[in-house]
Amino acid sequence: MRYSEMFLPTTKETPSDAEIASHQLMLRAGMIRKLAGGIYSYLPLGYRVIRKVENIVREEMNRAGAQEVLLPAVQPAELWMESGRWNMYGKELLRVRDRHNRDYCIGPTHEEVITALVRDEIQTYRQLPRNLYQIQTKFRDEIRPRFGIMRSREFGMKDAYSFDATEEGAEESYRKMFDAYNRIFTRCGLHFRPVEADSGNIGGSFSHEFMVTADSGEDAMVHCTSCQYAANLEKAECPRPKEGASQGAECLPLEEVHTPDVRTIEEVCAYLDVAPRDVVKTMIFMCDAKPVAVLVRGDEEINEAKLKNYLGCDSLELSMDDTILEVTGSPRGFAGPIGIKCRIIADHSLNGMENFVVGGNREDYHIKNCNSTRDFGTSEYADLRVIREGDMCPRCGGEISIVRGIEVGHVFKLGTKYSKAMNATFLDRDGKEKHMIMGCYGIGISRTVAACIEQSHDGDGIIWPMSIAPFHVIITPVNMKDEQISRAAEEMYERFVADGIEVILDDRDERAGVKFKDADLIGVPLRVTVGSRGLADGTVEVKFRQSGKVDKIPISTASDFVTGAITDV
Partner RNA sequence: CGGGGCGUAGCGCAGCCUGGCAGCGCGCCUGCUUUGGGAGCAGGAUGUCGCAGGUUCGAAUCCUGCCGCCCCGACCA
Helix (H) or strand (E) holding 458: strand 457-458
Q: How far is the CB of 206 from RNA (least distance, A)?
A: 11
The yes or no reply on residue 506 touching RNA (CB under 7 A) is no
Helix (H) or strand (E) holding 281: strand 280-287
Q: How far is the CB of 473 from RNA (least distance, A)?
A: 14
Q: In degrees rounded to 5, what are phi and psi of residue 190?
A: -95, 150
Residues 196-255 that bind RNA (CB under 7 A): 200
Check: CB of residue 327 under 8 Å from CB of residue 293.
Answer: yes
Window of 4-12, 339-347, 368-376, 489-497 that interacts with RNA by CB under 7 A: 4-12
The yes or no reply on residue 549 touching RNA (CB under 7 A) is no
The yes or no reply on residue 415 touching RNA (CB under 7 A) is no
Of 190, 121, 105, 236, nearest to 454 (Cα)? 190
Considering beta carbons, is residue 9 or 390 the nearer one to RNA? Answer: 9
Window of 84-92, 166-174, 245-253, 487-495 that interacts with RNA by CB under 7 A: 84-92
Considering beta carbons, is residue 383 or 518 the nearer one to RNA? Answer: 518
The yes or no reply on residue 374 touching RNA (CB under 7 A) is no
Check: CB of residue 569 under 8 Å from CB of residue 465.
Answer: yes
The yes or no reply on residue 36 touching RNA (CB under 7 A) is yes
The yes or no reply on residue 289 touching RNA (CB under 7 A) is no
Q: What is 183-231 written as a DSSP string? A: HHHHHTT--EEEEE---TTS-TT-EEEEEEE-TT-SEEEEEESSSS-EE
Of 402, 350, 412, nearest to 377 (Cα)? 350
The yes or no reply on residue 529 touching RNA (CB under 7 A) is yes
Q: How far is the CB of 20 from RNA (least distance, A)?
A: 8
The yes or no reply on residue 34 touching RNA (CB under 7 A) is yes
The yes or no reply on residue 181 touching RNA (CB under 7 A) is no
The yes or no reply on residue 11 touching RNA (CB under 7 A) is yes
The yes or no reply on residue 2 touching RNA (CB under 7 A) is no
Considering beta carbons, is residue 412 or 496 the nearer one to RNA? Answer: 412
Residues 473-502 that bind RNA (CB under 7 A): 478-479, 481
Window of 6-14, 367-375, 447-455, 489-497 that interacts with RNA by CB under 7 A: 6-14
| DSSP-based helix, strand, coil % in the chain, nearest 5 | 30, 30, 40
The yes or no reply on residue 89 touching RNA (CB under 7 A) is yes
The yes or no reply on residue 145 touching RNA (CB under 7 A) is yes
Q: How far is the CB of 90 from RNA (least distance, A)?
A: 7
Residues 100-119 that bind RNA (CB under 7 A): 109
Secondary structure of residue 103 in the 3-state scheme: strand
Q: How far is the CB of 412 from RNA (least distance, A)?
A: 5
Considering beta carbons, is residue 38 or 360 the nearer one to RNA? Answer: 38
Considering beta carbons, is residue 354 or 407 the nearer one to RNA? Answer: 407
Q: Judged by CB under 7 A, which of 107, 405, 470, 534 binds RNA?
A: 534
The yes or no reply on residue 460 touching RNA (CB under 7 A) is yes
- What's the length of the chain? 569
Of 387, 370, 349, 446, nearest to 57 (Cα)? 446
Rounded CA gap, 163 and 247, in Å? 53
Check: CB of residue 351 under 8 Å from CB of residue 381.
Answer: yes
Considering beta carbons, is residue 281 or 348 the nearer one to RNA? Answer: 281
The type of residue at 556 is S
Q: Judged by CB under 7 A, which of 129, 217, 409, 531 binds RNA?
A: 531
- Count CB-CB contacts under 10 A for residue 17: 10
Which contacts (CB < 8 Å, 24+ apart) does range 30-34 have? 30/522, 32/148, 32/149, 34/148
The yes or no reply on residue 10 touching RNA (CB under 7 A) is yes
Considering beta carbons, is residue 393 or 438 the nearer one to RNA? Answer: 438
Secondary structure of residue 441 in the 3-state scheme: strand
Q: How far is the CB of 116 from RNA (least distance, A)?
A: 17
Sheet holding 381-382, edge to edge: 316-318, 280-287, 290-297, 343-347, 381-382
Contact track, RNA, 13-32, x by CB under 7 A: xxxxx-x--------x----
Check: CB of residue 15 under 8 Å from CB of residue 24.
Answer: yes
The yes or no reply on residue 554 touching RNA (CB under 7 A) is no
Q: How many CA atoms lie within 13 A of 370 on its CB side?
A: 28
Considering beta carbons, is residue 34 or 183 the nearer one to RNA? Answer: 34
Size of the site for RNA (CB under 7 A): 52
Rounded CA gap, 451 and 431, in Å? 49
Ramachandran region of residue 217, left (φ > 0), alpha (ψ -120 to 50) or beta?
Answer: beta
Helix (H) or strand (E) holding 397: none
Q: How far is the CB of 431 from RNA (least distance, A)?
A: 33
Check: CB of residue 277 under 8 Å from CB of residue 299.
Answer: yes
The yes or no reply on residue 333 touching RNA (CB under 7 A) is no
Window of 8-16, 250-258, 323-331, 338-346 that interacts with RNA by CB under 7 A: 8-16
The yes or no reply on residue 81 touching RNA (CB under 7 A) is no
Window of 35-43, 246-254, 273-281, 431-439 that interacts with RNA by CB under 7 A: 35-43
Check: CB of residue 474 under 8 Å from CB of residue 526.
Answer: yes
Considering beta carbons, is residue 66 or 357 the nearer one to RNA? Answer: 66
The yes or no reply on residue 533 touching RNA (CB under 7 A) is yes
Secondary structure of residue 59 in the 3-state scheme: helix
**Chain positions contacting RNA, by CB under 7 A:** 10-17, 19, 28, 34, 36-38, 88-90, 92, 109, 143-147, 200, 317-318, 410, 412, 440, 460, 478-479, 481, 511-514, 516-521, 529-534, 541, 543
